[in-house]
Amino acid sequence: VLTQSPGTLSLSPGESATLSCRASQNIRDSYVAWYQQKPGQAPRLLIYGTSMRATGIPDRFRGSGSGTDFILTISRLEPEDFAVYYCQQSSRSLPFGPGTKVEI
Amino acid sequence: QVHLVESGGGVVQPGGSLRLSCAASEFTFSNFGMHWVRQAPGKGLEWVAFIQYDGSKMYYADSVKGRFTISKDNSKNTLYLQMDSLRPDDTALYYCAKDPNPYDFWGGYFDQWGQGTLVTVSS
């Protein structure tokens, strides 16, 4: 089971966001991916392998962490970054967290 | 640019069946495993099923095991999801998603997504 915090993050453009994802257990050899979803759109892969940026993702998105605690950091928020962010673990059943909404 | 287009969604009564399709283009479909992921209205994401690149192995979430069947036709570049014994809690937007690992077991994440097709199970 993955939990994400906070549920909602209220920030202004130019500020930085720190999103947390915690796994209920440490599963060996598992990694975390992060997705961005805007209203009416499909999710978009941002980060895979815990810290690798997907193709075309700007370097203001940074993934980190290990074990049971993972972080997505968004530096210098742009207007297009306001969205819902999901973490997802590479373990059996490929679970997702409930999401963090980053709002203006 | 990878292109995934889902179709086949609609309204179905509880206990009914539906078959979803996902037409793939702009990549070598036969080299990659594929997933279905769903999202209930206003809710989060749930992985549903995975099929290996050659269709030889399939894996399912416990919530759909025994009711849903994933398949792929590499000659038609199309992924399918046969959904039987549908329940109201199967109501969701169903996305097909590409696995990043060619010729291998799943990569553990989803690197390309379609726009989804809506399934509503209601009497």
Spatial CB neighbours of A28, under 8 Å, sequence gap ≥ 6: none
pLDDT at B104 exceeding the cut of 80: no
- The 8-class DSSP code of residue A92 comes to T
Q: Measured between CB atoms, which of A42, A45, A93 is closest to B115?
A: A42
Set of chain B residues whose Cβ sits within 8 Å of the Cβ of A42: 95, 113-116
Please provide the average confidence, as pLDDT, over all residues in chain A: 94
Chain B residues near residue A99 by CB distance under 8 angstroms: 44
Give tens-digit pLDDT for A29-43: 789 999 999 999 999
Q: How many CB pairs under 8 A join A and B?
A: 56
Alpha-carbon distance values, B71 to A12, B87, B113 (Å): 45, 21, 17
Return the SS3 of B123.
coil
pLDDT tens digits for A47-101? 999 999 999 999 999 999 988 999 999 999 999 999 999 999 998 889 999 999 9
Contact B113 A43 (CB under 8 A): yes
- What share of chain A in percent tops pLDDT 90? 87
Q: B21 and B34 in contact (C-beta within 8 Å)?
A: no
Average pLDDT score over residue span B48-73 = 96
Q: What is the mean pLDDT of residues B40-59?
A: 95
| Distance of alpha carbon B38 from alpha carbon B6, whole angstroms | 12
